[in-house]
Structure 1
Amino acid sequence: MDVLSDVIAIVRTGQPRSARLRWHAHGGQRFPAAPGSAGFQVVLQGTCWLTPPQGGPPVALGVGDVVFFPRGHGYGLADSPTTPLAAPACDPYDDAELHASASVGRPASDVAAVTVCGGYRLDRARAHPLLGDLPDMVHLPARLGRRTELRAAVELLAVELDRPRLGTDTLVPSLLDMLLLYILRAWFDDHPQDGVGTGWAAALADPAIAAALQAIHHDPARPWAVASLASQAGLPRAAFAKRFTAMTGQPPLSYLTWWRMTLAAQLLRTSDVPLSRIAAQTGYSSESALANAFKREYATAPGQYRRQHGATARRRPDGAS
C-alpha cells in the first residue's frame, strides 16, 4: 500500500457516519467538538455560512465546497452569518445511526442549502504525524475542472443518502472512505511546497524521501538500515538522514520503529494472529524481540495489550480478559 492509504487504514476505526441535511430559513446548528474524530461538510445545493473552529469570521460556502476538520473541532453552520446556532439536529459523530437525514430551520420555508456531513473515528492513541500537519480546518473551494474524483465521490454519496436502495449500507461506508482519501489527497496536492519546505506535504512531494517512505510501508519487515533506505532514496547516507529528519520530524529508523509498533498494535487489536507471526511481519526475529520493543513503546506486554484492547475484550460487556 502507498503511505497515505496505509495511514488511513491504520488510524481510522469503526464505521464512518454520514447525514444529508436540508437547511431552511433561520436554520443554524452547532456541531459539537468530538476529540478523536474527524468530520466534514460538503455543500450540494445553495449557499450557507460556516463558523470556524475556535472563532474567527464566518466563511461563505457554495455548491461543491468541501470543509474538513481533522481533529474534530466544533463549528457552526447556518443559512446566514447572523442566524443563531441551535443544538444539534443531527450529529455526524453519533453512534446511534450510521447514515441519516434531517432538516434544520423552518421546514415550511424554502430550502436554502443542502449539505452532506460526516464523521470518522480515529485512533487517538496512535495519531500519525502526517495528519498532525493538517490545519484545524481544511477548506477546499469548488473550482471548475479541478478535483473531478472528489466531486464524483460526493455526487455518488449524495445519491445513496438521498435514495437508499439495495446495497446502500455497503456502498456508503466505502464512499465515505473514498471521500476521506480524496480530501487528503487534494490538500497534499495543493501544499507540496515543491520538496523545499518541511512537514509531510513536503516529504510526500519529495521524490527521494517519498521513495524511502514507500519502501518502509511496502516492506516493514525488511531489516532496513539508514544506508539501505538512503539507497532507495538515491541519496548519500548523511544527506538522506538529515533530509528525512527535517521533513518528517523523526530520524529514519525512529520512524521505522514507530510504524512497526503501530502495525503490531493494530494486529493485536484486530486479529488472533500468533505473536510469532506478528514479529515476523513487523521485522523482529522472535517473540521476545517484539515484546521488548513493544514494552518500550506501549509500557505493556503484547499479550496484555491484546487482552485489554483486542476483539475478544470488546465483545465482552465488562471488557474482562
Structure 2
Amino acid sequence: MDALSKIFDDIHLNKSEYIYLKPQGHWAYAYQEQDAMIGYVVLVGTLNIQFESQKLLQLEAGDLILIPSGQSHICRSDNKENLLEALNINDFFDKRRQETIEFGSSSGEPALILAIRCHIDTIMARPLLNALPDYIHIQHITGSTAPEWLQIGLHFLAVEAYQIQPGRDKILDHLVSILFIECVRDYIAQLSDSNNWLRALSHTELANALAAIHGKPEQAWTVESLAEQCCMSRSKFATLFSSIVGETPLAYLQQYRFRLASQHLREGQLSIQQIAHRVGYSSETAFSQTFKRLFDLTPSQYRQQFH
C-alpha cells in the first residue's frame, strides 16, 4: 500500500453525514470545530464564509470548499458583519441529518447548500492537517473545466443522497473519502513548495520510505534500512528526508509509532503489551516510559480518558 493510501486508512475517515441548508434573504449560520472534516457545495446562490483568522471568502453557485480541520467559521448571505444571530448547525448533522433546513428572512434571494461532515481521527491526521491549507476551494465544479473525478463523484453523491437504499451510509462514506483524497491529490499536484510533507508522499525516492514506515511500523527500522528502501546512500537519504519532511527519519518514525499507539489505546481492544509490540517495542516498560514522556500520561492513564 502506498503512503497516502495508508495515511487515509489510519485517519479513519468515516461516518459521513450531510444536510441541505436552504437559507433565504438575510441569514447567517455558524459551525463550531469538531474532530471532523467539513465541506460545502453551493448549489444555488452565494455563500460568504469567514474563518477565525478573519479570512473572508465568497463562494458562488457551482463552488466546493473543503475545510480539512473542520475549524470554526461563520457563513453569511453577504460579506458584511451584522447583528443577525448565527444559527448553529453542528447539532443538525446528528438530529436532522439528510434533511433540508430552511432559515433566514421571509423575503430575498434563496440559496441551497449541501453541507457534508465526515469524522476523522485528528491525532492520526495531524501531519496531514498541518500540511494542508485551512481550506481547499474548487470553483465551477459543475462546469466543463472542473476535474472529471469531481463531476463523477458529486453525481454519485447526489444520486445516493436522494435515494433511500440499503448500504447507502457505507457508499456515502466511500464517496466522501474519495472526494477528500482526490482534493488532496489535486492539491499535492499543484504544490510549489518542495519542503512540504505532502510532497514527500509522491516523491519518487522518499515515498518508499514513508510507505515502509506507515506499512510496517513494528519493524526495527534504521536510517540505513530506510535508505535502502529508497535505493539511496544513508547520508543523501537522511539529508533529503529532513529537508522535505522537516524532521529526521527516526524522529518521524517515533512520532508515527506513538500516534498509532494512542489510536490503539483509544480503541481499547489491545493490551498495552500488544500495542508496544505493534509499534516496534519488545519491552513494555520502555514503551510506557517513552509514551509518558510524549503524552505526559502513562498508557493506562491515557486509555482511562476514553473508557
TM-score, normalised to structure 1, is 0.80
Q: Which residue of 1 aligns with 2:58?
A: 59
Q: How does 1:194-233 map to 2 (within 5 A)?
A: 197-233=194-230
- Please give the alpha-carbon distance, in whole angstroms, between the structure 2 residues aligned to 1:278 and 1:34: 30
* 1:35 Cα offset (Å): 5.0
Matched letter for residue 187 of structure 1 = Y
Check the 8 A contact 2:34/2:71 in 1, yes or no.
yes
Check the 8 A contact 1:16/1:98 in 2, yes or no.
no
- Structure 1 pair 90–155 and aligned structure 2 pair: CA distance change class (3 A): farther
Q: Which runs of 4+ in 1 moved over 6 A?
A: 107-110
* 1:217 Cα offset (Å): 1.0
Q: Which residue of 1 aligns with 2:276?
A: 279
Q: Which residue of 2 aligns with 1:129?
A: 127
* 1:226 Cα offset (Å): 0.5
Q: How does 1:1-321 map to 2 (within 5 A)?
A: 1-12=1-12, 15-24=15-24, 26-34=25-33, 36-43=35-42, 45-53=43-51, 54-63=53-62, 65-81=63-79, 86-88=85-87, 90-91=89-90, 94-105=93-104, 112-125=110-123, 127-141=125-139, 142=141, 144=144, 146-191=146-191, 193=192, 197-309=194-306, 313=307
1:166-202 CA deviation, whole Å, 9 max, x = no partner? 33333333333333223222222322x3xx7201232
TM-score, normalised to structure 2, is 0.84
Check the 8 A contact 1:49/1:61 in 2, yes or no.
yes
Q: What SS is found at the alignment partner of 2:160? A: helix
Higher mean alpha-carbon deviation, 250-259 vs 230-239, is at 230-239
- Equivalent residue pairs, number: 303
- Please give the alpha-carbon distance, in whole angstroms, between the structure 2 residues aligned to 1:275 and 1:77: 44
Question: C-alpha root-mean-square deviation of aligned residues, in Å?
Answer: 3.0
- Please give the alpha-carbon distance, in whole angstroms, between the structure 1 residues aligned to 2:91 and 2:9: 20
- Structure 1 pair 91–306 and aligned structure 2 pair: CA distance change class (3 A): closer
- Please give the alpha-carbon distance, in whole angstroms, between the structure 2 residues aligned to 1:93 and 1:122: 18
* 1:93 Cα offset (Å): 7.5
Q: Which runs of 5+ in 2 are unaligned?
A: none
Check the 8 A contact 1:147/1:186 in 2, yes or no.
no
- Please give the alpha-carbon distance, in whole angstroms, between the structure 2 residues aligned to 1:86 and 1:12: 34
Check the 8 A contact 2:39/2:117 in 1, yes or no.
yes
- Please give the alpha-carbon distance, in whole angstroms, between the structure 2 residues aligned to 1:46 and 1:223: 54
Higher relative contact order structure (alpha carbons within 8 Å, sequence separation ≥ 6) = 2
Identity %: 27
* 1:218 Cα offset (Å): 1.4
Matched letter for residue 48 of structure 2 = L
Matched letter for residue 34 of structure 1 = E
1:12-46 CA deviation, whole Å, 9 max, x = no partner? 5773432122343x153222331544321112x33
- Structure 1 pair 89–281 and aligned structure 2 pair: CA distance change class (3 A): closer
